[in-house]
Structure 1
Amino acid sequence: MVPTENDSKLTRELGLAAVFTTAAGTMIGAGIFVLPGPAAAEAGPSSALAFVFAGIIALVATMCAVELATAMPRAGGPYFFVSRAMGPLVGTIIGLGAWLALILKGSFALVGLGWYITYFSSVSVLAVAAVGGIFLIIVNWLGAEQSGRLQTFVVLGLLMILAVFVGGGVPVIDTSNFDPLLEHGWNGVITATGLVFISYLGVVKATAVAGEVEDPGTTFPRALIAAVVFVTLLYAGIMLIITGVMSLPEIEASTAPVADAGELFLGTVGGAIIALAGVFATVSTANAATLSSSRFPFAMSQDGLMTPKLRKSSTRFGTPTRSIWLTGLIMIGLALLFDAEGLAKLGGTFGILVFALLNVTVVLLRGAQPEWYDPDFRTPFSPWLPLLGATAALLLIPFMGLLSQVSAIVLIVLGIAWYYVQTQIGETVQPDHTIGDQLQRVQYRQAIDDKAERLGTEVDTHSKIVVEVLQERPNRDLLAIVAAFARRYDATLDVVVISEVPAQLPLSEYDPRLDRAWVDTLERRLESTDCDVNFEHVLARDRTDALFDQIDDRTELVVIDWYAPIEKQYLRGSHVDKILHSDIPVQIAVLKHRGMAKLQDIVVATEEKPYDRTEVELADAIAASTNSSLTLMKVIPADASQEMITTAKEYLDNLQELVSSPTETEIVLGDDVRTALIERGDAADLLILGSSSHPVPGFFGPTTDIVAAETESSVLLAKDPETMIPWYRRIKRRLFD
């Protein structure tokens, strides 16, 4: 089911032009009117490159946002996308980050408004910022319709004025101003890229209309990609004109660089018109920031991540009153505390974190493949392009100053602390799943793909299974089980008895004879398996080394019969212990026989982790050979999220389709995993357990060791060579291979 707050359908009537203008309008604003001075101070004549690089990073994030929006078209915004994919903890971080990024963008625009007002009158910049902020709070409080009308009018006016500026400025560019181009080096360009990044933050807002777009799989991405490219070229062109008609000292000293540049080739009236456009642009940006940022605390409060007071709307105007006033007052306060450059860097830092998380969300969802995730558009070259975009964005932060770096860390710590405080208050937090659930799904998908690939691989007709038996202990069930394996792998059974010869006794003096009656019984039972069998008695100083000598590149499986209790004092340092901790690249199975009369009920049990390939293959082989019932059982915590339960069920259903034997699935919810496994094992004839999913100082893993020791049924413990591969490498393989 698609994770959406509202399942009602929207009318799809927006075309390419409508979406393009909407997206372009979210980006055209204060950035290009205010930032040329600070950008030129950092990058010099190459400052136009900063807008290009920031635009490229924004373009990748836009494609990821489009993919997420077409998968979740009934709601939009980075907070919703990320929280529904990664859970409320990460959602809290991105919600606070996106909120603060837009607040800072609004504060930055208010300071810019003061700068452009001073072009006409020598008033206080901070006074203008404060008055402008109060005005916009009231406008947004009165309703989004009034705010939207103001926004549309301003954007259209800006486009016309900027078109005149570019058309008049290109012919008068002095190319000598660009020599040398990299006057401040690449470090200056990268620093300026982080500085101007705030100009592109609004583009993600345009994804909110995904549910209203005709043919969203093509129209929506084309419109947004075209908008980002257009705005990037427009910004770079304007910056080229400014640096081409003004000297660097003049640009750095100007509080209205676009107007001052325009006055040089459009005259006094032209400069005044562009200054007026700067006023409109800064008002537009501040208004859009107030409108969109105030919705974040409103949405987070609906998910239980902020106080319920913020979710209340005005009965008269239908707007989130408290959220708007809280956001607006913080915006004004920040405008009074920081200068434009500081606000741009802080806002850009938080925006970078948001864009990076959007990119990572796409990678995670592609790897997890939840049933509801079916976007109409898919980001090309995934996962490499999204990860490259996220990495490029994050690499800007070290160039943005100590305050920005500390702020990024504080945001993450604050988000984590805020989340845990809210969960302790008692408010129901949404969604109920976590990023761990999605990572679990990635592991499940990898496990299913691995098993499907294994089943599709042709079996080596020359493969063999090495079976070690103990003298005078002919385990009939062991032979029946290994015969099932031999039939499954179409393999030869190499049955070996290893006699250890004490070091003080020469091998030539050791009597190698086995009990004849035992040998006759063993050979008779081997013949009854209808398998190709090789029997060998080996004399050796070291039993483990002798068994290793039996293993070669044809060996599919090593089976060991274990008679001692499954307890650490018996296992530690034993023959079995040495084999389990070796790096032999074959599957290992250890049978602990407890006198099963007849194989009828086989249970393969595990915790939250996926099954190893070995335990499923062996269980399927035994069930098929003995006509036993096969049950795939998984124990997950009683307080597991619905996402975790659904994921586990999907995994078992997919696994059920891959095995050849009739199979049932069983999910048990319980806090005591070991007790649940033991109780289910007691009711079965054979309990099959896999090893730990990562290397552990124990033997098969803490839970497996205890369950195998305490259950009353016979136990087959399976270990796959893949077990020694760390979990993060297996997830990496799922995401990238």
Structure 2
Amino acid sequence: MKKLNRSVNLTSAIAISIGGMLGSGIFVLPGIAAAKTGSSIWLAYLLAAVCILPAALSKSELATAMPSSGGTYVYIERTFGPIFGTIAGIGLWLSLLLKSSFALVGFGAYLTVLVSIDEGFTKYAALFFLLVILGLNIVGIKKVGKVQIVIVTISLISLAAILIFGLPNINKDYLQPVFTDGNIGLISTVAFVYISYAGVTKIAAIAGEIKNPSVNLPRAMMLSLVIMSAIYVSVAFVLVGNIPMTDLGSDIKPIYTISNILGGTYIGYAAAIVGVITLVSMANSGVLAASRFPFAMAIDKLLPEFMSRIHSKYLTPVVTIVMTCLVMALVILFLDVEKIAKLASAFMVMMFISVNACVIILRETATQWYNPPYKSPFYPFIQLFGIVSGIILLILLGLVPLLAILIITIIGFLIYLKYGKKALRTGVLRKYGHRPALYLLYKKKNRRKARLTGDIVINSKFLDGEILDDAGVVVPLLGNEKSPEMLVEIGAALNTKEKLQVANIIEVPNQTFLEAVVDENPKVTALARRFSRLAKSNRINVDFESVVTHNISDTIYELSDQTHCDWLVFGWNGRARTGILINNPIGWLMTHINSNFALFKDNGVRYIGKVLIALTPGKNDKKFIEVADRISQFYGASFSFLRVVSEEISETDYNDLEQTSNALISGSIAESDLRIIKSNDSIETISNLSASYDLLILGSPKKDSWINVLFGSGKDKFTEKSACSVLRLTIKND
């Protein structure tokens, strides 16, 4: 398959991103926004940039993980599933066509400066140029990208000239009042101008064509956001400082007005020409982008098939282009400029909330195929800020935009029921979502066991392609293990049966055919050779298979069920908790599988001679000691049984604990001893002791703070500070 040529450098990427933002946000919106908050409009633009920053960072991460997948619609569809993909596709389509409609309304206002037509006919002028744009999009002339760069350059030069001549002429009297409606007016204006920055993430749609996307894509988004926020803030300040608020508040061609004031009639005409060209170009590119969303949805079987038709000669999606322009015409005719801007902002805010949620879900579920080269900083706080601030902005936009979002959600759900219900894809959240999230977002269904011959493919090129049905231990390899051999050794140490099953599991998105990943995998060949050598040298019975799957949890669940194993042994990164709302595959399995669990944190220790088992008193203490004894026998090691007690413990309780603990290790075969240490800092105590041991064995981790409980993002402090390798054991009650 041919790949896209990565020919877009950083400079070009910044130009494209700026081009996506430059238009109605500065040529039309400032006057209407100033009427809502006063001269503090510049602050509203600045706060809007801060609010959109999380979405830019999140989309940078998503785009580097899926650099050729096609944008926000696909990110949401892969994360939340076809239902939300359908709703998101419609929301994105509407947000772009509304923004383009807004640009054409502004274009009509600038046109009245150049052509003697009544303001009442500006809508019809906008409709005429919409018809021209329809024809251009069908024949594909918009593909001449150099024209867009020229237009952006002219616009930036014009705005720079306004700043140079406008800043010295600021009238301080015009800057009062700063706030016409207090803090609420300011924040609602932030929501209103939010749409001005929507184009910052458009560059992600061509991530597959950017050179070194893991570096250049985030840089392009951040630099273009900084540049455009500086332009918006400074130009807005110049506007309110040079135009009386009584005039600016109802002006939808403010760039013409300020140019006329500063430079006279002919400079005003020049600014009007720039406004006309910029806004038409923006509307044209908006139609180009918007029409692709229903087209992509039709290809994915989420909309009627006829919408996926392309023109036989021009190879453009003619049906969705016509449909997009038709809806834009209705918007221009029947909605006023303020309602168009509010609706466009509302839909874009909703999409950016979803983008931030996508990053949290994809990271927390630890889905195997999600491996972005660039990761958003300050995770998950930056994403949580984006979600919370987005919800606040949606509320402040008013009732009508909220009702519109609700209606679109209902329509999207009905469309999914009609056309998309047969879609075979499922979102990551549906696969690995924890119960409360699934109750909120999906109708709860009982998980059906997957047949190994159906939902996974076993690589049988050089393996026997059969999963054992009598293995005592199953070791799933997920690709992030430091030493697969060490993990298999731990599995062998835990095993009380003859055989051990090792399964290298490769998870791919639902959109990828499993068979396409099976062949020509040298890593699998290398693992098979290494485990064969390990089995011979350690005299253990290891069966190794490689499987490709769409769902790790279901596959491991079936492996556990088919093998009737006693233990599942996983490599572990030290995460202590699973979240309430979302879960990673290991977290889901820990709550659904009846076998015991062993999570091994490999800290590089290769020879185990001394084992430390640290337990708080519990009903499974005897079983834990038996496991520690078995592991010590396997390695020919000794083990120490550690109890950390409060410094204020009474002598009677201390003696009782010592007696019961000695009784627990009295039947051990391996050499063992008891250590009871008085300390009020168990983490520090165990950390210091771990330096004298090779393996630390702990019980199941416990949940604590509400953030960790909700999102499972905490680290196990015992494991994090341990100087040796750690084995976390979860023993199911009989």
Structure 2: which amino acid aligns with 1:404?
Answer: P
Please say if 1:733 is aligned against 2:712.
Answer: yes
Residue 88 of structure 1 corresponds to which residue in structure 2? Answer: 82
Query: Equivalent residues in 2 for 1:491-510 (5 A)?
Result: none
The whole-number CA distance in structure 2 between the counterparts of 1:439 and 1:644 is 23
1:392-443 CA-to-partner distances (Å, cap 9, x unmatched) read 122101110110111222233332332222134x5xx3645452225479x9
Residues 56 and 680 of structure 1: CA distance in aligned 2, closer, same or farther (over 3 Å): closer
Corresponding position of 1:166: 163
Q: CA deviation at 1:727?
A: 12
1:327 aligns with 2:324: yes
Q: In the alignment, which residue of structure 2 is the partner of 1:405?
A: 402
SS of match in other structure, 1:386: helix
1:132 aligns with 2:132: no
Percent identity at matched positions? 29
Please say if residues 147 and 291 of structure 1, whose CA atoms lie closer than 8 Å, have aligned partners that are also in contact.
Answer: no
The 8 Å contact of residues 38 and 177 in structure 2, kept in 1 or not, is answered as no
Unaligned 5+ segments in structure 1 are 1-6, 444-599, 607-616, 635-639, 706-715
2:383 pairs with 1:386: yes
Question: Is the 1:113–1:129 contact (alpha carbons within 8 Å) kept by the matching residues of 2?
Answer: yes
Shift of 1:263: 1.3
- 1:63 matched to which residue of 2? 57
| Contact 2:37 2:189 survives alignment (8 Å) | yes
Equivalences for residues 677-696 of structure 1 within 5 A? none
Partner of 2:646: none
Partners of 1:365 and 1:438 within 8 A in 2: no
Deviation at 1:623, TM superposition (A): 7.0
Cα distance, 1:244 vs. partner?
0.3
1:276: Cα distance to partner? 2.0
Offset, 1:645: 13
Using the alignment, how far apart are the partners of 1:282 and 1:641 within structure 2? 37
1:410 to 1:632, Cα distance in 2 relative to 1, 3 A:
farther
Q: Which residue of 2 aligns with 1:505?
A: none
Q: From 333, 357, 362, give the equivalent of 1:360.
A: 357
Counterpart residue type for residue 275 of structure 1: A
Q: Deviations over 1:169-228 (max 9, x none)?
A: 111111332244233212111111111111122222212232222332322322221111
Alignment of 1:529-608 (within 5 A): 601=470
Deviations 1:92-119 (A, max 9, x none): 2221111110011111112112222223
Q: 2:293 aligns with which of 289, 293, 296?
A: 296
Quick check: 1:432–1:642 contact (8 Å CA) kept in 2?
A: no
User: Secondary structure at the residue paired with 1:395?
Assistant: helix
Provide the secondary structure at the position in 1 that maps to 2:214: coil
In structure 2, which of residues 476, 491, 499 is the aligned counterpart of residue 629 of structure 1?
Answer: 499
What is the identity, as a one-letter code, of the residue corresponding to 1:44? Answer: G
Q: What is the rounded CA distance, in whole Å, between the counterparts of 1:194 and 1:229 in structure 2?
A: 19
One-letter amino acid of the structure 2 residue matched with residue 172 of structure 1: N
Match of 1:231 among 228, 232, 235: 228
Distance of aligned partners of 1:310 and 1:727 in 2 relative to their CA distance in 1, 3 Å threshold = farther
Q: Deviations over 1:254-296 (max 9, x none)?
A: 2322211221111111122212222222212211110100011
**Cα 1:294/1:623, change in 2 over 3 Å:** same
Deviations 1:552-589 (A, max 9, x none): xxxxxxxxxxxxxxxxxxxxxxxxxxxxxxxxxxxxxx
Contact 1:141 1:320 in 2 (8 A): yes
Q: Return 290-299 or 251-260, whichever deviates more.
A: 251-260
For 1:256 and 1:61, the matched residues in 2 are separated by 29
String of CA shifts for 1:234-258, please: whole Å, max 9, x gaps.
0111111110011211111323222
- Compared CA separation, residues 414 and 625, structure 1 to 2 (3 A): closer
The residue identity in structure 1 corresponding to 2:54 is: V
Q: Does the 8 A contact of 2:82 with 2:427 survive in 1?
A: yes
688 and 12 in structure 1: CA distance in 2 versus 1, 3 angstrom threshold: closer
Q: C-alpha separation between the residues in 1 aligned to 2:86 and 2:282?
A: 25
Partners of 2:352 and 2:433 lie apart in 1 by 20
Give the alignment partner of residue 431 of structure 2, picking from 433, 437, 459.
437
**Displacement of 1:339 after TM fit?**
0.9
Partners of 2:128 and 2:431 lie apart in 1 by: 47
Cα pair distance change 1:25/1:677, threshold 3 Å: closer
Q: CA offset at residue 156 of structure 1?
A: 2.5
Of 270, 278, 282, which aligns to 1:281?
A: 278
- What residue in structure 2 maps to residue 25 of structure 1? 19
- Once the two structures are superposed, residues 9-61 of structure 1 have per-residue CA deviations (whole angstroms, 9 ceiling, x without a partner) of 23333222211111111110112111112101111110111111112222321
Contact 1:87 1:432 in 2 (8 A): yes
Alpha-carbon displacement from aligned partner over 1:308-360 (angstroms, at most 9, x marks no partner)? 11111111111110010001111111111111110111011110111111122
| Separation in 1, partners of 2:364, 2:514 | 16
Match of 1:36 among 20, 30, 41: 30
- TM-score normalised to structure 2 length: 0.64
Residue 601 (structure 1) shift: 4.8
Partner AA of 1:303 in structure 2: D
Q: 1:400 to 1:622 in 2, by over 3 A?
A: same
Judging changes above 3 Å, is the alpha-carbon distance between structure 1 residues 430 and 243 closer, same or farther for their aligned structure 2 residues?
farther
Residue of structure 2 equivalent to 1:339: 336
For the Cα contact (< 8 Å) 1:23–1:227, is it kept in 2? Answer: yes
* Residues 331/220 of structure 1: CA separation in 2 closer, same or farther (3 Å cut): same
Q: Deviations over 1:521-562 (max 9, x none)?
A: xxxxxxxxxxxxxxxxxxxxxxxxxxxxxxxxxxxxxxxxxx
- Is the alpha carbon distance of 1:620 and 1:629 closer, same or farther for their aligned partners in structure 2, counting shifts above 3 Å? farther
Provide the secondary structure at the position in 2 that maps to 1:322: helix
Decide whether aligned partners of structure 1 residues 367 and 127 sit closer, same or farther in structure 2, where only a CA change above 3 A counts: same
1:642 to partner: Cα distance:
7.9
Between the two proteins, the alignment pairs up a number of residues equal to: 538
Conserved 8 A contact 2:21-2:199: yes
| Pick aligned residue for 2:66 from 72, 80, 87 | 72
CA distance in 1, matches of 2:287, 2:26: 19
Unaligned stretches of 5+ in structure 2?
438-468, 476-486, 505-509, 518-522, 532-537, 570-577, 581-589, 596-622, 628-698, 717-734
RMSD of aligned alpha carbons: 4.7
Q: Does 1:114 align with 2:108?
A: yes
Name the residue aligned to 1:207.
204
One-letter amino acid of the counterpart of residue 332, structure 2: A
In 2, the alpha carbon distance for the partners of 1:182 and 1:385 equals 28
CA shift for structure 1 position 621: 8.8
Q: Distance in 2 between matches of 1:225 and 1:133?
A: 32
Give the SS at the match of 2:213.
coil
Amino acid at match of 1:15: N
Choose from 311, 314, 317 the match for 1:314. Answer: 311
Q: 1:12 aligns with which of 1, 6, 25?
A: 6
Q: How far, CA to CA, are the matches of 1:59 and 1:703 in structure 2?
A: 41
Matches within 5 A, 1:521-532: none
Which moved further from structure 2: 352-361 or 11-20? 11-20
Could you say if the C-alpha distance between residues 678 and 317 of structure 1 is closer, same or farther in structure 2, counting changes exceeding 3 Å?
Answer: closer
Matches within 5 A, 1:715-726: none
Output one character per residue of 1:455-509: Cα deviation in whole Å (capped at 9) or x when no partner: xxxxxxxxxxxxxxxxxxxxxxxxxxxxxxxxxxxxxxxxxxxxxxxxxxxxxxx
